[in-house]
Chains A and B, each alone.
Chain A
Amino acid sequence: MTQSFTSLPQELQLATSAHVKYIQSLDSRKDEYDYWLTEHLRLNGLYWGLTALHLLGHPEALPRAETIDFVLSCQHENGGFGAAPGHDAHMLSTVSAVQILAMVDAFDDLETRGRGKAQVGKYIASLQNRQTGTFAGDEWGEEDTRFLYGAFNALSLLGLLHLVDVDKAVDHIAACANFDGGYGVSPGAESHSGQIFTCVAALTIAGRKELIDVDRLGRWLSERQIAGGGLNGRPEKKEDVCYSWWVLSSLEMIGKTHWIDKEKLTSFILSSQDTDKGGISDRPGDMVDVWHTCFGIAGLSLLDYPGLEPVDEVYCMPKSTIKRVLGR
């Protein structure tokens, strides 16, 4: 279903070039206090920035060769990637690394200059708890459905999903289903939009969507939209642009995006932009950051905002990349 955007006020346009410049500038702020404090997110940040650029139609805005070099410099002998050179390997940064390499079409570089796909797959598989089926983030053992989704995401892109016990993992996700139709971070934990995305996307990758109570989940998700048009993460919480992705992509995966008001959501996201300096924030008036920029743009793409590359709702990457890598 296409949206007519003639009803949108003229001043609410997507400030594409400002956003591109903002993302490009992120790497140059090295002496800012925040830069080193968020070092443990560096590779993830690169994934968010790159995804946004691809969806904005400017994949070349970050230099490809340096990007590949940086990603590979974060890899450890065990195949896993750390958040930055010298950081220990972790699931989240490993997933970001695989996603980045997929987007810039550099799996060959991973084979020739990196440790190779098989080693990455081995690292990810080693983080699965074979008893419960769930995944840890690193040897420290923190368990979270985000890591489960990450594992499925990266392994499927590498064509190595068979390395893990998919069925056990799926059972674990089913155990995270709550009385209100949502999913939490672990069995019994409160339903949360972010965790719902990870569970639904993981089930989609595993081909087990039939386990989802679509009506109840869809209803819970549609209730995330509040009067201002934005979406929140849980009942009675504030709207936040990043939920435009977590909630919307979940609705997309269960085929219920028409259960929210798309125009209002679009307006909300566009109002959260900084049209001068670029970037998107969590809600209108707040400071921008690359995380919200990525998910705001991904949300707009799902909403069929004109001029954006289509985004894959399961992988949060351009559909063209997924087509190239997975052939669908």
Chain B
Amino acid sequence: MPSKGKAATKPKATETPATTTSNPTTTNTTSQTASQPSEPTTVLERSQQRFEKTRPFEAARRQQGLSRLSKEDQKGWICDQLLHLTNRLPAASRSCLLGPKASKEIWWTVNGTNSIVRGLKHKPEPYTTWGTDRNGHDVGSYTIERFDERFRQRIALTALQVSSRVFRENVEREKRGFVDARSGREIIVTEREIDEEKVRRSKMAALKKDLYGAITGKLAESVEWEDVVPIPHEEPEGALAAITYPAEYAEAMSYLRAVMTTKEYSPRCLRLTEHIIAMNPAHYTVWLYRAANIFALGISIPDEIEWLNEVALANLKNYQIWHHRHLLVEHYYPTISSDPDALAQFAKQERDFLIAILSEDTKNYHVWSYRSWLVGKLGMWEDEEELKSIEKMIDEDVRNNSAWSHRFVLVFSNPKYATPGKAATEKDEKVPQELVDREVKYAQNKVYLAPQNQSPWNYMRGVLVKGGQPLASVQGFVEEFVNKLGEGEEEEEVKSTHALDLLAEIYAEKKENEKADLCLRRLAEKWDKIRGGYWEWRRKCLTQSEREKAPGEQVEKAEEGIAAA
């Protein structure tokens, strides 16, 4: 390549306007280069000026258009283009572009016009080399000072990244038991180095945020999770219900996926599940994984239950918490089953908590189902405290149907006197009469407190069925709530529709159909109109009571017949 082409060098930033005279200003040219540039205010301007200085013909063309340039300048431009074109070609092919004669001519022209061989590469508009900053602003619009500041920040970040890389490599070496070549000792990562790295990481995170707006998650930043590659959530293309997660949750889930894939069970995983549960306690997978960790690490179950208690109190409507507790108890039970004291102690702890949480939400279905299961699991039927606790709850709110339901379980599934496997709805001969009497009395006492409350009435019926006792055995009691039935609107007194209902059943049981019908009619007409359809059906059943009331199907058929009529 001709050496004469090295006439000019790339102008520097500190270039003064005087150096522009090195531009081709041969006497023949009438071209006007870009007007004397003022001091650039932004880095973009600076780059543009640099470009124009080394590519004056191109600058001129951009300003005026090729057709308006002088012939000399046009020629200069063409040579300029060709020069840059050939510069980009590999050396070997350069001579192939044009024949030797044409090449010579180009170089002769180039010499004549004093073109700058090494001009800056042509870049298309818009000239956005640096991209945008964290606020979305074009970095090209920065002032020189600000740009330099940014540059310094980037250098600082790079330096930190280099040091961090050294640290990470040392961690890896330590893990693999490498030996330092010079000292001959095993590589250890000291506490101090870890602390330094932590500081470094937070500086890196701050710089990244400042420069690029990139938020480094706490987990990604932490030294503890160094070796885990998180698995981000994959959304299929154009998903119907694609989701935007809060960054912290998304990050935590991506780490969870990673450790679940490798089936890691460790303290940090346990902490991770706690972290996620705090954000979204309804996510069932994370509970499953937590349980696996608890068991694998041999964490003390009572300790875990203590933690769970807090979570339960904060999330009263959550299902998963109670199933988790169920799993914990199943796991723990074999270790205490042969120790009556330990069992009693555990039962007491559980009950204390159940009482506490039920005081927040007295009818919580999950808690009550857990409680009735626990009675069976820990064999708490004879536990006086359990019965007392239920009685207390009924004292506090006689309308708490859950408490009544639990009492039935407690009393009538006691293996001491209940036939195992007997359905709740079946009579059980084994149940002692005193017990039946006691429970009937208990229900009746509670009825007095609120005669229209349904629970003790249902309870009493259930007890009578269990004990195989006829409903008529409580007729006296029931009649206390119904007075002067059918003797006129003014006279009639019904303190409980459930009493009236039961009375109708009692009369039917005794085949006193007229009396039964009166009760049912009054219920439909006045005392419980909303269930009119039901009372009417009962009345019709009476008229067929000569034939034995058949279960299920036959009664339905009879009813259909009635409905059609």
Contact = CB atoms under 8 A, between A and B. Distances in A.
Contact of A214 (B291, B459, B556): B556
A222 B556 contact: no
A46 interface: yes
A186 B405 CA distance: 13
Interface stretch (B30-38, B115-123, B342-350, B369-377): B369-377
Contacts of A27: 240-241
B555 A88 contact: no
Contact of B240 (A69, A142, A177, A192): A69
A59 to B, nearest CB: 16
B164 to A, nearest CB: 31
Contacts of A191: 405
Contacts of A229: 530
B563 interface: yes
B293 to A, nearest CB: 14
A73 B458 contact: no
A264 B530 contact: yes
Contacts of B412: 179
A222 B249 CA distance: 45
A190 B368 CA distance: 8
Contacts of B225: none
Query: For B246, B319, B399, B530, which residue has the most chain A Cβ atoms within 10 angstroms?
Result: B530
A188 interface: yes
Interface residues of A, number: 73
A225 interface: yes
Interface in A106-147: 137-142
B244 interface: yes
A27 B239 CA distance: 11
B532 A261 contact: yes
Interface stretch (B46-54, B281-289, B471-479): B281-289
Given A86-B234, A179-B462, A259-B533, A36 B249 contact: yes
Interface string B364-386: 01001100110010000000000
Contact of B454 (A73, A87, A236): A236
A40 B453 contact: no
Size category of the B interface is 35 or more
B245 A36 contact: yes
B560 to A, nearest CB: 8
B400 A212 contact: no
Contact of B246 (A36, A175, A179, A259): A36
Interface string B453-466: 11100110111011
B273 interface: no
B280 A1 contact: no
B528 to A, nearest CB: 9
Interface in A65-86: 66-67, 69-70, 73, 84-86
A276 interface: no
Interface in A182-217: 184-186, 188-192, 209-210, 212-216
B62 to A, nearest CB: 45
Query: For B238, B408, B424, B529, which residue has the most chain A Cβ atoms within 10 angstroms?
Result: B424
B307 to A, nearest CB: 19
Nearest to B243: A36
Contacts of A307: none
Query: For B534, B551, B563, which residue has the most chain A Cβ atoms within 10 angstroms?
Result: B534
Contacts of B96: none
A15 B365 CA distance: 33
B552 A210 contact: yes
Interface string A145-166: 0000000000000000000000
Interface in A26-77: 27, 30-31, 33, 35-40, 42, 46, 63, 66-67, 69-70, 73
Given A40-B282, A227-B530, A140 B408 contact: no
Interface in A215-229: 215-216, 218-220, 222-223, 225, 227, 229
A9 to B, nearest CB: 19
Contacts of A236: 399-401, 453-455
B406 interface: yes
Given A85-B239, A177-B425, A236-B454, A214 B244 contact: no
Query: For A69, A184, A223, A254, which residue has the most chain B Cβ atoms within 10 angstroms?
Result: A223
A213 B555 CA distance: 11
Given A178-B425, A189-B368, A255 B534 contact: no
Given A1-B563, A179-B424, A259-B534, A235 B401 contact: yes
Contacts of B423: 174-175, 177
A184 B424 CA distance: 12
- State the majority secondary structure of interface residues on B: helix
Nearest to A90: B284
Contacts of B533: 222, 258-261
B530 A225 contact: yes
B239 A70 contact: yes
A243 B412 CA distance: 29
Interface in A83-97: 84-88, 90
B554 to A, nearest CB: 10
B240 A70 contact: yes
A168 interface: no
Contacts of A31: 244
Given A1-B563, A70-B241, A86-B233, A189 B372 contact: yes
B258 to A, nearest CB: 13
B10 interface: no
Given A222-B531, A255-B559, A140 B288 contact: yes
A180 interface: yes
B409 A188 contact: yes
Given A40-B283, A70-B240, A225-B531, A235 B369 contact: no
B288 to A, nearest CB: 4
A328 interface: no
Given A39-B243, A73-B236, A189 B530 contact: no
B15 interface: no
A319 interface: no
Interface string B207-240: 0000000000000000000000000011110111
B413 interface: yes
A223 B532 contact: no
Contact of A185 (B239, B280, B285, B369): B369
A323 interface: no
B424 A209 contact: no
Nearest to A85: B236
B405 A142 contact: no
A85 B257 CA distance: 13
Nearest to B466: A179
Contact of B372 (A39, A90, A188): A188
7 contacts: A84-B241, A85-B235, A140-B284, A184-B405, A186-B373, A189-B368, A235-B454
Interface of A: 1, 27, 30-31, 33, 35-40, 42, 46, 63, 66-67, 69-70, 73, 84-88, 90, 137-142, 174-175, 177-181, 184-186, 188-192, 209-210, 212-216, 218-220, 222-223, 225, 227, 229, 234-237, 254-256, 258-261, 264
Given A36-B243, A46-B241, 9 more contacts: A27-B240, A67-B240, A84-B241, A85-B234, A179-B465, A184-B369, A188-B409, A234-B401, A256-B534
Task: Please name the 8 residue pairs, one residue from A and one from B, whose CB atoms are nearest each other, closest first.
Answer: A179-B462, A70-B240, A258-B533, A190-B405, A259-B534, A236-B399, A142-B323, A189-B369
